[in-house]
Amino acid sequence: MRKASILLAALLVSLLAVSVGALAQGSLAIVYDVGGRGDLSFNDMAALGGERAVRELGVRLTEVESASTADFLPNLRALARSRQHDVIVGVGFLIQDAMAQVAEEFPNQKFALIDGFVDAPNVMSISFADHEGSALVGALAAITALENGGDTVGIVLGIEIPILLRFEVGYRAGVRWAVDRYNEIHGTNKQVRVLYTYTGAFDDPARGKTAAEAMLGQGATVVYQVAGGTGLGVFEAVESAARGQGKVVGPPFAIGVDSAQDYISPGFIAVSMVKRVDNGVFEAIKRALDGTFQGGAVTLKLAEGGVAASSVEMVELFFDEAVAAGAKTPEEKAVAMAGVRAAREAVPQLAWDLLNELDSLIRSGEYVVPEALDRDTAEYWRSVLSTY
Amino acid sequence: MDPRPVEQRELEALSRRERQRQLRGTFAGLAEIVVALVIGLFVGALVMDGAGYDWKLAYEGLLIGAFGDQWAIADTLASATPLILTGLVFGLSARAGYFNIGAQGQMIVGALAAVAVGAHVSAPPVMAVTLTFLAAALAGALWALPAALLKATRGVHEVISTIMFNWIAHYTALYMVFNVLNDPRSAERTVRVLPEARLGAIIPGADMTAAIFVAVGVALFMYWLLWHSPWGYEMRIAGLNPSALRYAGASPLWSVNLTFILAGIAAGIAGATQIIGRPPTYALYGDLSNVRNLGFDGIAVALIGRNHPLGIILAAIFIGAMGAGSRMMQIMAGVPLDMVRIVHGTVIIALAAPEVWSLLGKFLSRGRARREAASTAHSKTVQR
C-alpha cells in the first residue's frame, strides 16, 4: 500500500514536471477518427498540420487514435483531464457528439473540431469550403470526359453525412458549369451525367472498388472519390480497368480527395481536391498560443487556402509524408512523380484551362457554388443541375 | 491412536486427497495464467522495444489508463460490459459442445432492436430500459434460432451458419441504419433512443452505466443455470458426450435450441448495452463502429475465461482494461494504436492458447470417435 502511494506520488510529481515543461512551450493534442493514421488522407493531413506546428511553433504533439467511436469520449477526457494541452483537436465529423460533451465538462480547455460543429465558447469548429474545391475537380472531370468522347463521370462517397452532400453537389455544379462553358465555346449541345454512390463506410476499400467498377462499366471516364479509406478501392478499380486496356496512363482517371493523393496510383489520378486540414489544425494551435482563439464556426474557403486543386509540388510534399508514414520508399519517388506528370499531361488542356477559369471566378465571387448540407437541398440541386 | 473406525479415517483421507487435488488444479490453472501473461507481456515488450518505443513507460500507461483513478476503472468496466455478454455467447455454447461464433450478428440485431424500441416506445424510465433490453434479447435469440434449427434438423455446421448470419445481420443493419432508423438530420447514425431509455453515467466523467450490472447479472444467471439446474446439466452433458445424452433419453434438439437461444439473449443484450448504456451518442453509427468486433472479441474473452461464466467476467474486465489502458499507452508513451493492438494480440493469444488447445483436442477426438463408430458400423454391415 505504502509502495503504491509512493509510486503514485512520484508519478504525480513527474506528471506535474511534464505539464510545466509542456506549458512553457505549448502543447497540441490530436484525437484521430476511427480511420486513423495511415489513411493517406484526412487523418494524415491533420498529422501534417501537427508536425508543422512542432517544427514552426516548437509545440509538443500528443496523438491518440480511436479504435471505435466509443473511444472518442474517453480519449478526449483523458487528454482534457491531464491539463497539459493548449488545444485538443478532434479530427472528423463523428467526434462531434463526444466533443460537445467534453467541452461542457471542461469549460476551461480549448478544443478544435475539424469538419463538424459544436456550439460552445471553448470549441473552434473548423470546416472547409469542400463544395468550392469539388466544383473545380468537377469541371476538370466533365471536360476530360467530353474530350475523350465520353458523357459520364462518377463520384463515390462514404457515409451520407451533410458534409458529403456538400462535396457531391459542389462536384455536380462544377460539372454543369464546365459543360455549359464547353457548349458555349464549341457551339454544341453536349450533356454529362453524374453517377453517384454512397458506400456507407470510410474504411472499406472493397466497397469503394465495387462501386467504382460499376461506374466504369456504365461508361464513366472519371471517378471522384470522397470516401477516405474506402476511396483507395476506387483508385484500384480505375487503375486495373485502364491497365486491362493496356494503358499505362488514363483515361479512365480517378480524382483524389483530402490530401494530394495523385501519387497513390501514378498515371491514373488526374488531380486531387486538397482539403487543407493541416492548415486548420495549425491555425487552431497558433490561435490558442497567440491569444486569438475563439469559439464558433470558421470556414476556410478556396480564397483563404482552405481547399485547392492539387499541384505537382503539393503531390511531392505528400509523397514525402507517405515515405515518413512508411507507405512508400524514397526510391519509388522518381517513378511515381513521372506517373503523376504523365497523368496531368494526358488530361486535356481545355480541362485545366476551365479548372483555372472556374478557380478565379470562385475566388472573385463571380461564381457562387451551391451548397447543400441536407438531403432535401441536395435532391433539389441534383435535379436542377442535371436538367439540360 | 485414533479411536475412530478405520472406514471413517479412510474416508477422511480420501476427501482430503480429493481436496488437495482440486487445490492443485486451481493452483495449476492460476500458474498457467500467470506464466501466459508474463510470456505475452514479454513478447509485447520485445516488439515495442524492437520498434523503438519505451515499453516500460507503455506498460505504466497501460496500468494507469486501466486502473489509475476512479474514471479509469469505470472506463475499464464500461469496455468490459459488452465483452462479458459476448464472451458468454461463445463460452456457454462451447460448454454445450458448439462452436457458436454468431455473437457479432446477434449483437448487431440486438442493437437494432434497442434503437427501434428505445427510440419509439415512450414509457417511464425503468420500464423503457427494461422494454429495450427485452426487445434486444428477443431479437438476439430469434437471430440465433435458425442456426440452431439448421444444426438440429439438417446437421448444418454452426460455424458456417453463424458466420453467414453475421454477415446477413451486418448488411441488414447497414440498410436499416440508412433507410429505416435513420435520423434525417444526421445521416451518419440512427435516431437516438429517447432520454427515458438511456442509462446515465454512474460516475460523472466516465462511461460506466448500470449496464455493467445487467451484464454481470446475466453471467451469474448463466452460472446458476449451467451448474445448478437440470437444463444446464443436460447442456454440459451434451458438450461432454452427446451420445450419453441421447442414451439418457434427453433430446439433443431441445438442448441445441436452448443453448443457442440463451446465447442469443446474451448477445442481444450486449448490443443494447452499446446503444442505451454507453454515452454520449445513444444511437447506432452508420458504419456500426460502436459495436464493431465486440462479438469476436467475446471469443477471446471466453477462451481466456476458460468458458466459465465467472472466468468470463474476469477475462472481460482484463480485455476491457487493455482497451482502456491503450489510450494512455498512446498518450504517455506515444505508442501508435497499431502497435498497441499487436501487444494486446500477443497477450491475448498467450492467455487463450491453453483453452484453444484443449477445445481443439476435444473436437478432434470427438470427430475421430464418430468416424471410428461409423467405420465399425460399416464393417459390420459388410460382414453381414
Q: Is B188's Cβ below 8 Å from some Cβ in A? A: yes
Q: Is B52's Cβ below 8 Å from some Cβ in A? A: no
Asked if pLDDT for residue A220 goes beyond 50, the answer is yes
Question: Residue B52 — left, alpha, or beta (φ > 0 → left; ψ -120 to 50 → alpha)?
Answer: left
> Looking at beta carbons, which residues of chain B come within 8 Å of A79?
331
pLDDT for position A24:
47
Comparing A277 with A6, which gets the higher pLDDT? A277
Candidates B113, B114, B111; CA nearest to B129 is: B114
Q: Nine-digit cell at A184?
A: 458555349
| Closest Cα in chain B, distance from residue A300 (Å) | 23
| Closest Cα in chain A, distance from residue B211 (Å) | 15
Asked if pLDDT for residue A3 goes beyond 90, the answer is no
Q: Nine-digit cell at A241?
A: 480497368
Q: Average pLDDT over chain A, rounded to whole?
A: 90
Q: Is A211's Cβ below 8 Å from some Cβ in B? A: no
Q: Is B273's Cβ below 8 Å from some Cβ in A? A: no
- B367 Cβ contact partners less than 8 Å away, ≥ 6 residues apart: none
Q: Output the CA torsion B165→B170→B175→B178 (10° steps).
A: 160
Q: From CA B26, how far away is CA B16, in angstroms rounded?
A: 15
Q: Is A64's Cβ below 8 Å from some Cβ in B? A: yes
Asked if pLDDT for residue B384 goes beyond 70, the answer is no
> Looking at beta carbons, which residues of chain B come within 8 Å of A198?
178
> Looking at beta carbons, which residues of chain A come within 8 Å of B341?
67
Q: Is B185's Cβ below 8 Å from some Cβ in A? A: yes
In this prediction, residues A78-97 reach a mean pLDDT of 93
* B192 → chain A, closest CA residue: A97
Q: Which pLDDT band, with edges at 50, 70 and 90, does B1 fall under?
A: low
> Looking at beta carbons, which residues of chain A come within 8 Å of B287?
34, 159, 200-203
Query: Any idea how long chain A is?
Result: 388
| Closest Cα in chain B, distance from residue A385 (Å) | 23
| Closest Cα in chain A, distance from residue B296 (Å) | 14
Residue B241's CB is within 10 A of a number of other CB atoms, namely: 15
Inspect the interface and report whether the beta carbons of A67 and B326 lie closer than 8 Å. yes
Of the listed ranges A98-107, B1-10, B66-75, the one predicted with least confidence? B1-10
pLDDT for position A22:
43
pLDDT for position A19:
45
Q: Which of B292, B327, B334 lies closest to A75 in CB terms?
A: B327
Q: Nine-digit cell at B47?
A: 516488439
Q: Which pLDDT band, with edges at 50, 70 and 90, does A23 fall under?
A: very low
In this prediction, residues A150-170 reach a mean pLDDT of 93
Q: Is B61's Cβ below 8 Å from some Cβ in A? A: no
- B98 Cβ contact partners less than 8 Å away, ≥ 6 residues apart: B151, B158, B239, B256, B259, B260
| Closest Cα in chain B, distance from residue A243 (Å) | 32
> Looking at beta carbons, which residues of chain A come within 8 Å of B334?
62-63
Inspect the interface and report whether the beta carbons of A74 and B324 lie closer than 8 Å. yes
Q: Is B91's Cβ below 8 Å from some Cβ in A? A: no
> Looking at beta carbons, which residues of chain B come within 8 Å of A200?
174, 177-178, 286-287
CATH architecture of A26-128+278-303: 3-Layer(aba) Sandwich (3.40)
Candidates A148, A130, A149, A113; CA nearest to A283 is: A113
In this prediction, residues B181-209 reach a mean pLDDT of 90
Q: Which of A37, A78, A375 lies closest to B184 in CB terms?
A: A375
| Closest Cα in chain B, distance from residue A196 (Å) | 16
Q: Which of B174, B331, B337 lies closest to A67 in CB terms?
A: B337
Q: What percent of chain A has pLDDT over 70?
A: 94
Q: Which pLDDT band, with edges at 50, 70 and 90, does A1 fall under?
A: very low
pLDDT for position A138:
97
Q: Under a CB-based contact definition with an 8 Å cutoff, are residues A63 and A37 in contact?
A: yes
In this prediction, residues A145-170 reach a mean pLDDT of 94
pLDDT for position A18:
46
> Looking at beta carbons, which residues of chain A come within 8 Å of B167?
none
In this prediction, residues A304-316 reach a mean pLDDT of 91
Q: Average pLDDT over chain B, rounded to whole?
A: 88
Inspect the interface and report whether the beta carbons of B178 and A98 lie closer than 8 Å. no
* B322 → chain A, closest CA residue: A67
Q: What percent of chain B has pLDDT over 70?
A: 93
Inspect the interface and report whether the beta carbons of B75 and A74 lie closer than 8 Å. yes
Asked if pLDDT for residue B299 goes beyond 70, the answer is yes
* B187 → chain A, closest CA residue: A161
pLDDT tens-place string over residues B323-374: 999 999 999 999 999 899 999 999 999 998 888 888 777 777 766 666 666 5
In this prediction, residues A382-387 reach a mean pLDDT of 92
ipTM at complex level: 0.84
> Looking at beta carbons, which residues of chain B come within 8 Å of A73?
207, 279-280
Q: From CA A317, how far away is CA A149, in angstroms rounded?
A: 34
| Closest Cα in chain A, distance from residue B345 (Å) | 14
Candidates B316, B354, B381; CA nearest to B39 is: B354
pLDDT for position A119:
94
pLDDT for position B378:
53
Pairing of strands A269-275, A253-258: parallel
Q: Which of A62, A97, A200 lies closest to B280 in CB terms?
A: A97
Asked if pLDDT for residue A91 goes beyond 80, the answer is yes
Q: Is A56's Cβ below 8 Å from some Cβ in B? A: no
The DSSP-derived string for B255-284 is HHHHHHHHHHHHHHHHHHHHHHSSTTT-S-
Residue A337's CB is within 10 A of a number of other CB atoms, namely: 17
Q: Which pLDDT band, with edges at 50, 70 and 90, does B88 fall under?
A: very high
Asked if pLDDT for residue A225 goes beyond 90, the answer is yes
Q: Is A83's Cβ below 8 Å from some Cβ in B? A: no
Comparing A123 with B35, which gets the higher pLDDT? A123
Residue A299's CB is within 10 A of a number of other CB atoms, namely: 12
* B69 → chain A, closest CA residue: A8
pLDDT tens-place string over residues A336-378: 999 999 999 999 999 999 999 999 999 999 999 999 988 899 9
Q: Is A356's Cβ below 8 Å from some Cβ in B? A: no
> Looking at beta carbons, which residues of chain B come within 8 Å of A100?
280
Question: DSSP H helical segments within chain B, as ranges?
Answer: 6-50, 55-67, 70-95, 103-120, 125-149, 158-179, 211-228, 230-240, 242-247, 252-276, 294-304, 309-333, 337-383
Q: Nine-digit cell at B346?
A: 500477443
Residues of chain A with CATH 3.40.50.2300: 26-128+278-303, 130-274+311-385
Which of A17-26, A296-305, B245-254 has the highest mean predicted lDDT (pLDDT)? A296-305
Inspect the interface and report whether the beta carbons of B331 and A11 lie closer than 8 Å. no
Inspect the interface and report whether the beta carbons of A159 and B280 lie closer than 8 Å. no
Comparing B79 with A9, which gets the higher pLDDT? B79
Asked if pLDDT for residue A200 goes beyond 80, the answer is yes
Q: From CA A197, how far away is CA A18, in angstroms rounded?
A: 48
- Fold of the A130-274+311-385 domain: Rossmann fold (3.40.50)
